[in-house]
Amino acid sequence: MAKEQNTSFQDVVSHCKKLGFIYQSSEIYGGLSAVYDYGPYGILLKNNIKQYWWKSMVQMNENIVGLDAAIFMDPKVWKASGHVDAFSDPLVDNKDSNKRYRADTLIEDYIESKIQKKIDKDVAKAAKKFGEAFDKAEFLATNGRILDRQKKIDEILNRMNTALNSGDLTDVRQLIIDLDIACPVSGSRNWTEVRQFNLMFSTQGGGATSDDKLYLRPETAQGIFVNFLNVLNTSRQKIPFGIAQIGKAFRNEIVARQFIFRMREFEQMEMQFFVRPGQQQEFYQKWKEARMKWHLALGTSPDKLRFHDHETLAHYADAALDIEFQFPFGFKELEGVHSRTDFDLKAHQEHSGKKLQYFDPELDESYVPCVVETSIGCDRMFLAMMSNAYQIDEAPDSKGVLKERVVLRLHPAIAPIKCAVLPLVKKDEALTKKAREIFDTIKYSFECQYDEKDAVGRRYRRQDELGTPYCITIDEQTIEDNTVTIRERDSMKQERISVSEIEKIVSERVDMRNLLKQL
């Protein structure tokens, strides 16, 4: 069996760029920071992820309908939602380097580099010393030095969260000073005051007066809330029901790093589920489990996914969690599931003066529904899938010698190209003619690629790097008996099948229904 090697985040980023999955925006001008473009293979993978999400929501649930709201909305929407007053990050500048940082990120980075790293080192040392008998959970729960370090982390986070939640920015600055945090660029501790910086981008409307200030939406959810009545009155839905939407969102992130993990322009896939007040906890649990199932169906190992309950809740939420994925740089938020109570609809009701209520025939009364939200970044999901799929193993070359192979083990249903059609040699016109014929027949059913350049072994490698689950090879025998070989990406096993079976076999194996049936 082929040996797998460890891969780094840098490998994944380079692969995305090299293979045409993702490019930096405006690259020929030096590149716009934290904004990215999707290339020929990236757009196919991204569309497949979106399609999987959309089908799992709108197609699979009779009581979920879709929406595509505009990016621009009445600015009063953002006042009502709280984004104008409170959608901000705490910033601090270093006076010597003139570099700007998110205060909470500086503190979190301190924890990571000064304390957590020591814990990880101790764990690695103990694991080496005790070998198979090592019980990590027990070690973390009982080792005195680790407990002291963990206590210190908890104290720091507690103080930071209390200060941030109460708006005590002076204490956030004091914490930076108490921890003796230095600017990574200048090395000095010469910090400005900490202040809040609103993350919304704004622009001017047609009239170009200050009253015409328009915001680029920082989340898609508000487009759903303000259309609650429209959808209710036109879709014949009854509570409980949901509205799903995929669309662009914009945030002026100060710390934009880790490639497409944190971007200034990104895409969200959000679903707001409207329920009877009092039933939100039940649906929160339901959606929490449903969303984890959605991730697991893609073949991601359960070890790489976990729930993280929010310790401190936003003022409008009565429960909230993240689904975290183990990115190459650690477990980080991939998706949020939030029980947002009736806060959003009530806020829009108050600011718009329109009643946003539902008449419940079973109860014979009207109420403002509560909302359970699932919210995932499409780009972040893309990065999770690329990080999960990118592997280096070994494969025999034409002489049977094991050579390193880069392979993207994407689930076939989301792979950009489903099937490559390869004549064994380019020179043989009978083979290329037959291969073209096959390509022209099967291209109606799924995304295919015809490739005749280079030796067939190199072409297999190229398809492995793109994550193509199947390669069809047309050889001498094809001309004699109308059969081809079909090669499977992960096992590299080849089978001989008849030309007439190709379309059916590949269609069945790459069918998105295979994912949906697991939900």
Closest approach, Cβ 336 to ligand GAP, in A, equals: 4
d(CA 220, CA 250): 10
Q: Whose CB is nearest to ligand GAP?
A: 377
Cβ neighbors of 439 (< 8 A, separation 6 or more) are 421, 448, 450
Output the CA torsion sign for 375, 379, 384, 389.
positive
Closest CB to ligand GAP among residues 71, 505: 71
User: Residue type at 433?
Assistant: K
Site residues (CB under 6 A) for ligand GAP? 219, 221, 251, 253, 262-263, 266, 268, 270, 333-336, 373, 375-377, 379-380
Closest CB to ligand GAP among residues 94, 220: 220
Cβ neighbors of 397 (< 8 A, separation 6 or more) are 403, 457
Burial-class residue 355 by CB neighbours within 10 Å (0-12, 13-18, 19+): exposed
Residue 393 in contact with residue 497, Cβ under 8 Å? no
131: left (phi over 0), alpha (psi -120 to 50) or beta: left
Helix-then-strand count for the chain, H and E: 19, 23
Closest approach, Cβ 414 to ligand GAP, in A, equals: 17
Closest approach, Cβ 235 to ligand GAP, in A, equals: 21
Binding residues: 102, 219, 251-253, 261-270, 333-334, 373-380
Closest approach, Cβ 377 to ligand GAP, in A, equals: 3
Closest approach, Cβ 267 to ligand GAP, in A, equals: 8
Closest CB to ligand GAP among residues 238, 310: 310
Interhelix angle for 378-389 vs 40-54, to 10°? 110
Closest CB to ligand GAP among residues 219, 475: 219
Closest CB to ligand GAP among residues 218, 240: 218
Closest approach, Cβ 216 to ligand GAP, in A, equals: 13
Closest CB to ligand GAP among residues 243, 334: 334
Residue 372 tokens, joined:
């359970």
Binding residues for ATP: 251-253, 261-266, 333-334, 377-380
d(CA 48, CA 413): 8
